[in-house]
């Protein structure tokens, strides 16, 4: 089951703020909570009670909490990796290991009697997961997630993301990664400029981030790294994640006819399989709308990302929907009716032949 989640930073927030945020997130289908308990500062009982209260509330509305912990926390609380009862009593659904052990400990933790998930770090680029698997963990209780990166220019590259994710995917583990809100200001550290996994996502709107992950198809769960995302962002993330088809944001030009709007925004498009390096072709619309009128518009050069509908001068291709993958000449047969949003044009590189998609304004 694929899920979306939010992050909370309990040492910097009030229960009332977090409860309101969880209620809003749950409204849009969010069912995961990420929060950190790397070390306890101050009164241990007071801190633990605050965590338990929030985790219990999340559980009561169907939101499971994964606690980010470190080996030092085990020492601070004087508990062993072979006894996870403390975390079960907190109400947590699982533990994310900020730093690893030797591999044996992680494998043994997956066999805990409480069914706690053990989530390991995907971003390091080592043979860490291979080592854990050599100790025969209970893979039903083993999952993995990438880090997030608060400092500009420190998020992982696309190439590193693909390499490390493939290492985990071969074991068929549930995976997770982080996207960032453009309005959230709360994170675990004083310095932050977004909390994303991929550096290329740092300043993108959340819908585009989610659609990128969706088109790659290698990550199961997505979590907003910073708090608090706006309701608009929560809604956009939910729609992009749960939509039956990936959503490509576009800006339509003025003066479109009703039939052109219908073609663009009411139809599900399918990328024709015999692909060209120049165009994404969605050919069903030329059949469905072959009797409609598509007068030639102002003829303009076509660039990557331009959205096209075949004009009356395009013969049997009249009404066909296309998206340019590269600059091409236009002799009037192609009406440019809009353009994929600038920051989202790169998503076209991830569309696969015979994949479906929707265009959204």
For position 300, what pLDDT does the model report? 87
Residue partners of 234: CB distance under 8 A and separation at least 6: 6, 24, 25, 27, 28, 30
Pairwise pLDDT comparison (78 vs 144), residue with the higher score: 144
With 0.85 as the threshold, say if the pTM is over it.
yes
For position 1, what pLDDT does the model report? 72
CATH for the stretch 249-360: 2.40.100.10
For position 237, what pLDDT does the model report? 98
Assigned architecture for domain 4-242: Alpha-Beta Barrel (3.20)
What average pLDDT does the structure give for the chain? Answer: 95
SS3 content of the chain, % helix, strand, coil (to 5): 35, 20, 40
Average pLDDT, stretch 306-318? 97
For position 123, what pLDDT does the model report? 95
Cβ-in-10-Å burial (0-12, 13-18, 19+) of 190 comes to: exposed
For position 256, what pLDDT does the model report? 95
Pairwise pLDDT comparison (40 vs 241), residue with the higher score: 241
User: In which band, very low, low, confident or very high, does the pLDDT at 98 lie, cut at 50, 70 and 90?
Assistant: confident
In this structure, the number of other CB atoms found within 10 A of the CB of residue 293 comes to 11
For position 71, what pLDDT does the model report? 84
For position 125, what pLDDT does the model report? 86
Q: Using CA atoms, how far apart are residues 24 and 75, in angstroms rounded to an integer? A: 36
Q: Write down how long the chain is.
A: 361
Domain ranges of the chain: 4-242, 249-360
């Amino acid at each position: 089951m694929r899920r979306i989640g939010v992050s909370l930073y309990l040492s910097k927030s009030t229960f009332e703020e977090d409860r309101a945020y969880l209620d809003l997130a749950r409204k849009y289908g969010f069912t995961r909570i990420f929060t950190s308990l790397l070390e306890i500062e101050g009164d241990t009982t007071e801190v633990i009670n605050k965590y338990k209260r929030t985790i219990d509330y999340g559980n009561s509305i169907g939101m499971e909490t994964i606690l980010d912990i470190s080996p030092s926390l085990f020492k601070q609380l004087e508990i062993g990796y072979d006894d996870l009862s403390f975390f079960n009593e907190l109400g947590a659904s699982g533990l994310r290991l900020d730093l690893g052990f030797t591999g044996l400990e992680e494998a043994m933790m997956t066999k805990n009697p409480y069914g706690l998930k053990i989530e390991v770090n995907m971003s390091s680029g080592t043979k860490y997961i291979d080592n854990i698997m050599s100790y025969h963990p209970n893979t039903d209780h083993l999952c993995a997630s990438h880090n997030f990166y608060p400092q500009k220019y420190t998020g992982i590259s696309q190439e590193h993301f693909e390499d490390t994710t493939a290492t985990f995917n071969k074991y068929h583990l549930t995976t997770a990664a982080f996207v960032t809100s453009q309005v959230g200001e709360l994170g675990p550290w004083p310095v932050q400029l977004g909390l994303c996994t991929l550096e290329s996502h740092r300043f993108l709107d959340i819908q585009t981030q989610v659609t990128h992950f969706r088109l790659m198809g290698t990550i199961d769960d997505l979590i907003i790294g910073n708090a608090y995302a706006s309701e608009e962002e929560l809604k956009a993330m939910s729609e992009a994640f749960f939509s039956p088809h990936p959503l490509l944001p576009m800006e339509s030009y003025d003066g479109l006819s009703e039939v052109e709007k219908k073609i663009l925004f009411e139809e599900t498009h399918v990328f024709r399989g015999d692909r060209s390096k120049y165009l994404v072709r969605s050919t069903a619309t030329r059949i469905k709308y072959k009797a409609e009128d598509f007068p030639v518009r102002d003829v303009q050069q076509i660039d990557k990302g331009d959205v096209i509908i075949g004009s009356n001068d395009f013969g049997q291709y009249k009404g066909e929907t296309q998206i340019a993958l590269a600059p091409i000449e236009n002799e009037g047969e192609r009406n440019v009716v809009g353009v994929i949003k600038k920051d989202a044009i790169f998503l076209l590189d991830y569309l696969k032949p015979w994949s479906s998609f929707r265009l959204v304004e």
